[in-house]
Amino acid sequence: MSKKYNFSAGPAILPDSVIKASAEAVANWDGTGLSLLEVSHRGAKFVSVLEEAMALTKELLGLPDNYKVLFLTGGASSQFYMTAMNLLDKNGKACYVDTGTWSTKAIKEAKLFGPTEVIASSKEQNFQYVPKGYEVPKDATYLHLTSNNTISGTQMHELPITNTPIVCDMSSDIFSRPIDIERYGLIYAGAQKNMGPAGTTLVIVREDMLGNVDREITSMLDYNTHIKKDSSFNTPPVFPIFVSMLTMRWIKSQGGVAAMAKHNEEKAAIIYNEIDRNSLFKGVAAKEDRSLMNVTFVATKEGIEKDFLAACEAAGCVGLKGHRSVGGFRASIYNAMSIEGVNTLAQVMQDFEKANA
């Protein structure tokens, strides 16, 4: 089978070495004669995997001891309500910046648990830019941000100036660049963009953010439940956690998140430079807010979309159709996407222009 470059927004590309090791573990994990899919989550071998995944998260992101790492289920969408349920009550106020579909959904859920204010939004321009220059109320319990927006192709390259703890959905750019962890009270990320397969959700929470609401919280939705049980209050998603651990090992072997950031900047520059040069395409997101993870662009000439996607497929570049709310094309270039893959796509764009301009 010829080489395929997976530009899908998610479930997304994983390193080849991670896929190979995962496949081997599914057949026979580490010589045990058992599949990873059937081992006990209480057994010493998987407990060591979970411990390593937590340790690698702390190492890669530079987490101090007062931040706890959890691997939960339910996807990032479950965190839209879990964050508000655990952090917000009628005596507080949550502030949200609305930068796309996922933050809009988070806002809807937060309103069920306490006062919620949208202090900035880019909805009026179909979320094609990241709002700036807004003020965060001093009485805010937390400020919720979405660091990268997969649909519109925007990314926050700077945090707002505030002393308010930030709650951040990093589902599509976790481990892609260094972060200033002291600015964050809680971070959550679905695995299936930059970490592993769908099925587990990473949560990083600062201890003092918890235990401050006046409501009773059901056990499964209380972060403290999962902290006390080391993410094993119920059966954890063994396979997604294992693959996420392998991915974090790979990131470490590549030089960590600083090396990932440089790699991602180089890849994004190749694609954005070609978009800006090519007469048949134009970018969607505001240039200063362009995502290093999800490159969105549209055709400048009518009727060429299907032919361009066919040319991409023929070259082994798959998953490039844009989201229905934006149209056009989307090249997702997460950590595991190679320079080779990005150069292949850029060459397709150049050849397509020569044939169709």
CB atoms within 10 A of CB 37: 12
Kind of pairing, strands 294-299 and 281-283?
A: antiparallel
Catalytic residue among 169, 173, 222, 289: 169
Catalytic residue among 68, 98, 193, 289: 193
Q: What is the CATH number of the domain that holds 59?
A: 3.40.640.10
274, 267 in Cβ contact below 8 A? no
Mean pLDDT, residues 161-189: 97
CA–CA dist 126, 60 (Å, integer): 34
Catalytic residue among 29, 68, 98, 102: 102
169 is catalytic: yes
CA–CA dist 341, 320 (Å, integer): 12
One domain, residues 47 and 177: yes
pLDDT tens column, 235-293: 999 999 999 999 999 999 999 999 999 999 999 999 999 999 999 999 999 999 999 99
One domain, residues 262 and 116: no
pLDDT tens column, 95-132: 999 999 999 999 999 999 999 999 999 999 999 999 99
One domain, residues 300 and 238: no
Range of the domain at 295: 256-356
Within-domain flag for 6 = no
CA–CA dist 67, 196 (Å, integer): 22
What's the structural domain count of the chain? Answer: 2
Q: Of 238, 253, 268, which one is at a domain's C-terminal end?
A: 253
One domain, residues 155 and 32: yes
Runs of H (alpha helix) within the chain? 16-27, 44-61, 75-87, 101-110, 223-228, 238-253, 256-277, 305-314, 339-356
Within-domain flag for 10 = no
Q: Of 253, 282, 309, which one is at a domain's C-terminal end?
A: 253
143, 117 in Cβ contact below 8 A? no
One domain, residues 188 and 60: yes
pTM summary value: 0.97
One domain, residues 143 and 37: yes
102 is catalytic: yes
250 is catalytic: no
